[in-house]
Amino acid sequence: MPEDLSKLEKTLKIKFKNKELLRQALVHRSYLNENPSFALPHNERLEFLGDAVLELAVTEYLYQNYPNPEGELTNFRASLVNSIMMAKIARNFELEKYLLMSKGETKDIGRARQCLIANAIEAVIGAIYLDRGYKTAKKFVEKNITKELPDILEQKLYEDPKSRFQEESQERAGITPTYKALKEWGPDHDKHFIVGVYLEKDLIAQGEGRSKQDAQREAAQEALKAKGWNK
């Protein structure tokens, strides 16, 4: 490992009974392509589990603490569990320096890297769940992720960015934005999409997600930033 996992445990404030679970959460598929004899599998199954644990913990927190209608709670949740937020949380823990990935992935510092580290923090949540149970995983989510909600609410980041960008585009430029899938990859159970948002023929921004809808939302959010149209 590039770094001692005990340092990461201190940063996470969680002591693992089975440290191999934490180690596995940090193994990207590409690393095994270059190191086929490595003892552990990649982190995609843990990511799959962690994604479900994260969504349940956030949903439970919102249900218990916010009396808002279901549609608003759905938007609140989406703003907490998207890849941009997950990458931010991962960077708070400096998770990137613990990741095992191929030399090619190490050189990529763009949008694909953001997705990779976002997936890794979900895998870590899956590892926490398996090692310490739901109660500890839920506490971790509430301490490190749902704490971002007050800022999200204050800045109205939960509002649907596609609707906001369309309103701003029509009002400011008289143009309705269009979206185009630029790239997709991965098996059916773990698809990833990159989508571009355009004003006529001009590519304004790109977004990435596990569905075209998620990628469009992120593209719209990035386009609002690029245009300086955030309210």
85 backbone φψ class: left, alpha, beta (φ>0; ψ -120 to 50): alpha
CA distance 162 to 218: 9
CA distance 126 to 115: 17
**Both tokens of residue 172?**
């400011």
Q: Is 188 a catalytic residue?
A: no
Main-chain phi, psi angles of 69, to 5 degrees? -65, 165
Do residues 142 and 61 touch, judged by C-beta distance below 8 A? Answer: yes
Element (H, E) at 184: strand 178-185
CB atoms under 10 Å from CB of 95, counted, come to 22
CA distance 86 to 32: 24
The amino acid at 108: D
CA distance 181 to 208: 10
Catalytic-role residue among 51, 105, 131, 168? 51
The amino acid at 98: Y
Catalytic-role residue among 3, 9, 105, 122? 122
CA distance 182 to 24: 31
Main-chain phi, psi angles of 110, to 5 degrees? -95, -145
Q: Is 51 a catalytic residue?
A: yes
Active site residues: 51, 122
